[in-house]
């Protein structure tokens, strides 16, 4: 698989792909590549004006629809307007921001990165014909799921702890979703990807000295958003293993997509089931699988 790049993307003509957070960084690079390969791409974005400006620079069939993952009413409204899609790419996210709440009272990072995507996937599951791709992160290795305080109501808040928890939650969700699909005999796939260390705008939202440190790392070490998007593009278009996890082939940091390992915590089936049940209660969304 080494060396897989955009030129290896199969012809996407006739396929419809939803990409959340497609106005910048990994999401933009993903949407741009898929549209150029012939897919009808639905850019699911919070900022429609910014999305329109980005879409004008793309080649291919691109549609823009408003979606705020930090507001379940917006998630439901978006899902209502989707007739069908072959692939859902859950890419949008916020990283290491100060403690904030979503419209529904969730901690912003778990609410946006995970619970919003959990709800979106559940609402669209009957109209997704092929696969769901969740974007995780290397930080999931330091993540810890606190089922008793998922939304940081009692714990001392940690920006990176909250981010890592949300990315671990996405992997637990991916693997549990695949187990349930397999159990019912569904041909649909749940897979995950991570970009390694890629320079994107998400790292500019930390609002403190860390932003300057990350910015320096972006200039000296990080690969481009285009390279960081390759594992997601692979997960979305290539022949993949059910429940597979894909990332860069050079020490998980840089390079071309390959199958990678995730933490032991991400494979904890009991925690995955409990997180799923909690997520259904918090979002009010139950999966029809």
The CATH architecture annotation of domain 6-282 reads: 3-Layer(aba) Sandwich (3.40)
The pLDDT assigned to 221 comes to 64
Would the pLDDT of 207 be above 60? Answer: no
Supply the DSSP symbol for 112: I
Q: What is the pLDDT of residues 102-158, one digit of tens each?
A: 999 999 999 999 999 999 999 999 999 999 999 999 999 999 999 999 999 999 999
Residue 213: pLDDT band with limits 50, 70, 90: very low
Domain boundaries, the chain: 6-282
Calpha distance 221→244 (Å, rounded): 27
What's residue 217's pLDDT?
A: 45
Q: Which secondary structure element, helix H or strand E, spans residue 220, and what is its range?
A: helix 209-220
Residue 208 has pLDDT above 60, yes or no: no
- What are the φ/ψ torsions at residue 53 (nearest 5 degrees)? -65, -40
Predicted local distance difference test score (pLDDT) of residue 200 = 58
Which position has the token pair 């290397």?
Answer: 138
pLDDT in tens, 238-287: 999 999 999 998 876 779 999 999 999 999 999 999 999 999 999 999 99
Tell me how far apart the alpha carbons of residues 287 and 282 are, in angstroms, rounded to a whole number.
Answer: 13
HEC-encoded secondary structure of 21-45: CCCCHHHHHHHHHHHHCCCEEEEEE
Residue 281 CB: number of other CB atoms within 10 A? 10
Q: What's the predicted TM-score (pTM) here?
A: 0.92
Active-site annotation holder among 114, 157, 163, 246: 163
Angle at 39 between CA 67 and CA 34, to 5 degrees: 80
Q: What is the band of 171 on the pLDDT scale with cuts at 50, 70, 90?
A: very high
Respond yes or no: is residue 163 known to be catalytic.
yes
Average pLDDT over residues 210-218: 45
Q: What local confidence, expressed as pLDDT, does residue 253 receive?
A: 72
Residue 95: how many other CB atoms lie within 10 Å: 24
Tokens of 22: 């497609």
**C-alpha to C-alpha distances, 240 to 36, 225, 236, 244, nearest whole angstrom:** 21, 22, 9, 7
- Mean pLDDT for the stretch of residues 29-33: 98
Task: Give residue 211's pLDDT band: very low, low, confident or very high (50, 70, 90).
Answer: very low
The pLDDT score that the predictor gives to residue 11 is 98
- 32-73 pLDDT per residue, tens: 999 999 999 999 999 999 999 999 999 999 999 999 999 999
pLDDT tens, residue by residue, 161-170:
999 999 999 9
Question: Which pLDDT value is given to residue 199?
Answer: 60
């Amino acid at each position: 698989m080494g060396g897989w790049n955009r030129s290896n993307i199969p012809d996407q003509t006739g396929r419809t792909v939803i990409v959340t957070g497609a106005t910048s960084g990994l999401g933009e690079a993903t949407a741009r590549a898929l549209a150029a390969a012939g897919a009808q791409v639905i850019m699911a974005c919070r900022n429609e004006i910014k999305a329109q400006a980005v879409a004008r620079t793309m080649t291919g069939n691109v549609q823009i629809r408003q979606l705020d993952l930090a507001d379940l009413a917006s998630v439901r409204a978006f899902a209502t307007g989707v007739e069908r899609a072959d692939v859902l790419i859950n890419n949008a996210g916020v990283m290491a921001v100060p403690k904030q709440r979503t419209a529904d009272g969730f901690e912003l990072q778990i609410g946006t990165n995970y619970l919003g995507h959990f709800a979106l996937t559940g609402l669209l599951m009957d109209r997704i014909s092929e696969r769901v791709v969740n974007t995780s992160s290397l930080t999931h290795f330091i993540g810890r799921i606190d089922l008793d305080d998922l939304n940081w109501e009692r714990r001392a808040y940690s920006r990176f702890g909250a981010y890592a928890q949300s990315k671990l939650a996405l992997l637990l969700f991916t693997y549990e979703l695949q187990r349930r699909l397999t159990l019912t005999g569904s041909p649909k796939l749940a897979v995950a990807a991570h970009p390694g260390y890629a320079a994107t705008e998400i790292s500019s939202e930390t609002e403190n000295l860390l932003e300057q440190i990350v910015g320096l790392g972006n200039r000296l070490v990080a690969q481009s958003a285009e390279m960081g998007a390759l594992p997601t593009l692979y997960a979305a278009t290539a022949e993949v293993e059910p429940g597979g996890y894909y990332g860069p082939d050079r020490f998980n940091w840089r390079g071309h997509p390959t199958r990678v390992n995730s933490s032991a915590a991400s494979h904890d089936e009991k925690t995955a089931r409990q997180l799923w049940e909690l997520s259904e209660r918090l979002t009010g969304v139950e999966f029809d699988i």
